Structure 1
């Protein structure tokens, strides 16, 4: 028993002897590879003249071999000296140095710009700055209304004032809406009416049939949307003022053209300025249907993948069925248990609304007082909604909004701001512009030919 215990360590030693031999063998191989790599690295290093002189003195190198190797060494040194003094190398070195300096300056400038942006953003959230901007917006809204009233005394210039305001406001709206991912709202019918009106002013000003189409669409569905969607006259809010401008200015322009037109516009095809139901109802309804088809094609087919991949992009359909505040009609149907596909429901509601608002336009076109009463009612509605906003919403929420902005420097507010920034896009990019052109250029071309065919049919 003792012998067995005594022999166990010897057995263990014998068992580990092959492993030790293998380890020694691996160590020897690693040393050989290390020496070999050192020799290779020494071989790749350029020879020095001093080393060659020692080798020739010790007799290790023959004179012939010495002169051959010395010639190679001399050529290498000569080439290095040439490269050092070459103007191309100097220019390359200077270029790299200047590029590094420019990059450093650019980084410093970017840091400075970011710092100033942060300071500006903090100042813009301060109550004094917010109040100043709101006061300025209020003043501009009042001035816009006064200029509009002054132009009503010279109605022939109203369309020019509309054109001057139209383009910068649309550029501003597209940029601001694109930043919030609301730019698909600019495919709505109200913007389509602006295009139809501009078509008449600058391309079909002598065609009274086309004016009747534009008149009925501008004073019917477009003006009625002020009442339907509660557009309000809120002077200090630029976004609300632009929305009101889009809906109320085409009716005002057509009002001036219809009752005080100049010789450059032809708005009546006969002496009594009569209008047929084809021109007041069916042809405008056809133009509306064309817009509806374009809208569905753009949002449900052409850009379906884009919209499905980004739930933050807002469209009229998404606004109609949003969870936090759905449209009252859609909400009422859900309460009653009626399940209709949202797109079908939205199309039916808009189509019915358009037909109902087009019917009174047959009489408004032929009677000054009926037309004036329509615009008076619309203006009273937007004024009432503005007063409601100021006295019921604005008076209570303004101080809270200022205090919220003042507290935006807290960590929680900063996190919320970062989340909002993630959900936002920047300014319109090249791809956005190309996507815009790829849709609107063919659409406007088709619209032009459709208008021509509609005019030929109505005539």
Structure 2
């Protein structure tokens, strides 16, 4: 095309030289400068055509990793987390059925490792306000019960209401998922589910759970707890604790650290729920909040805590209700994990590298 455009700009006289033979026949030959110019144009076009070929040849000459090499080279931490997570699920299931005494030790060990890791990570990401959420307070209360007051039946009922209420229901509300390769998601699941599993064992299997503990756990059978004060320690006091935490959270972070707390630089539970999350709770706040969005957030938190803590009376008094509830929550977490692996995970992998997932180049 370049050669044709270059030739079109020349006249016929410029392009030809006329030669006359002896018999009078005249022949027209291309001029020398035209031949020279056309040769340069043709050579330039040839270089343009060959350039992609050399680029492709250079790409193909690079050594491509096969599937096995790529898998062996990358994602080693995720593989280790996956193995530990699967082993944890197996051990927890066996502990719930056979050796109940082991679960408090496992829970304590995991919190001792995972909470410092999360605190370090969240501080670097400027998410440290999340560490003041209610679930961490509930886990601290659970550890305090295990290691300081395992014999206190009244305190156990408070911990039971706290952990089996808002904390466990957060798995459903915030879509916690069983994703074994992710330490972040497994930490969330352990924080929200393990305390309720501990209270389940202490409530229904106190003797077996106390077998290798330093002191016997409180034996909270229905006969012993039929005193009339059950509602107070199981529902009223946990709800009061939740409301006190909500007020302290409001006073410390919203009033005392107002500009820092509301800054987009620091992510916290309120900004995540009100602006980023997509569950029913979050959509209701965005729809009905307006300029009173934080007030609506506080009201919804109170309603959510009241309903979930009131339901713990059923879990505490009926074994079948408690075990069905825990199985339901774990099923939801497992389903959320399957959604991650089957819907979200392949999409992310394809978007990151659609052609070379296994060392192949597009044809």
Q: What's the TM-score, normalizing by structure 1?
A: 0.56
The match for 1:289 is 243
Deviations 1:228-261 (A, max 9, x none): 1100000011100000000000011111111111
Change in 2 beyond 3 A, CA 1:127/1:300: farther
Whole-angstrom distance in 1 between the partners of 2:289 and 2:248: 28
> Structure 1 residue 139 and structure 2 residue 83: aligned?
yes
Kindly state the Cα deviation for residue 374 of structure 1 after the two structures are TM-superposed: 0.8
d(CA) in 2 for partners of 1:330, 1:236 = 28
Alignment correspondent of 1:223? 168
Q: Report deviation, 1:380.
A: 0.6
| Equivalent residue in structure 1 for 2:294, among 338, 343, 350 | 343
In structure 2, relative to structure 1, the CA distance for the partners of 1:332 and 1:218 (3 Å cut) is closer
Partners of 1:131 and 1:352 in 2: how far apart?
Answer: 42
Report if aligned partners of 2:222, 2:317 keep a CA contact under 8 Å in 1. Answer: no
Answer yes or no: is 1:359 the counterpart of 2:310.
yes
**Aligned to 2:253, which of 299, 304, 311?**
299
Query: 1-side partners of 2:130 and 2:172: how far apart?
Result: 18
| Structure 1 residues 403 and 169, CA gap change in structure 2 (3 angstroms) | farther
Preserved CA contact (<8 Å) 1:319 1:326: no
Larger radius of gyration: 1
The equivalences for 1:207-356 within 5 A come to 207-261=152-206, 262=210, 264-268=216-220, 271-274=223-226, 276-307=230-261, 310-322=263-275, 328-332=280-284, 334=286, 339-356=290-307
Point out the structure with the larger helix share: 1
1:189 paired to 2:140: no
1:17-416 matches, within 5 Å, as 129-152=73-96, 153-261=98-206, 262=210, 264-268=216-220, 271-274=223-226, 276-307=230-261, 310-322=263-275, 328-332=280-284, 334=286, 339-401=290-352
* Structure 2 Cα separation of the partners of residues 361 and 159 of structure 1: 21
Could you list the per-position Cα deviations for residues 365-388 of structure 1 after superposition, in whole angstroms to 9, with x for gaps in the alignment?
Answer: 122111111101111110111111
Aligned length: 278
Q: 1:325 to 1:218 in 2, by over 3 A?
A: closer
Report the CA distance between 1:400 and its aligned residue.
2.9
Instruction: Name the SS of the counterpart of 1:341 in structure 2.
Output: helix
1:199 CA displacement? 1.6
Please tell me whether the aligned partners of residues 233 and 244 of structure 1 are also in contact (alpha carbons under 8 angstroms): yes
SS in 1 for 2:101: helix
Q: Distance in 1 between matches of 2:294 and 2:147?
A: 35
CA gap of 1:133–1:341, structure 2 versus 1, over 3 A, is same
Q: CA deviation at 1:354?
A: 0.8
Distance in 2 (CA, whole Å) between partners of 1:224 and 1:243 is: 13
Asked if the contact 1:207–1:267 (Cα under 8 Å) also holds between the matched residues in 2, the reply is no
> Alpha carbons of 1:347 and 1:148: their partners in 2 closer, same or farther (altered >3 Å)?
same
Deviations 1:41-96 (CA, angstroms, capped at 9, x unpaired): xxxxxxxxxxxxxxxxxxxxxxxxxxxxxxxxxxxxxxxxxxxxxxxxxxxxxxxx
Q: Any stretches of 5+ residues in structure 2 without a counterpart?
A: 1-69, 358-363
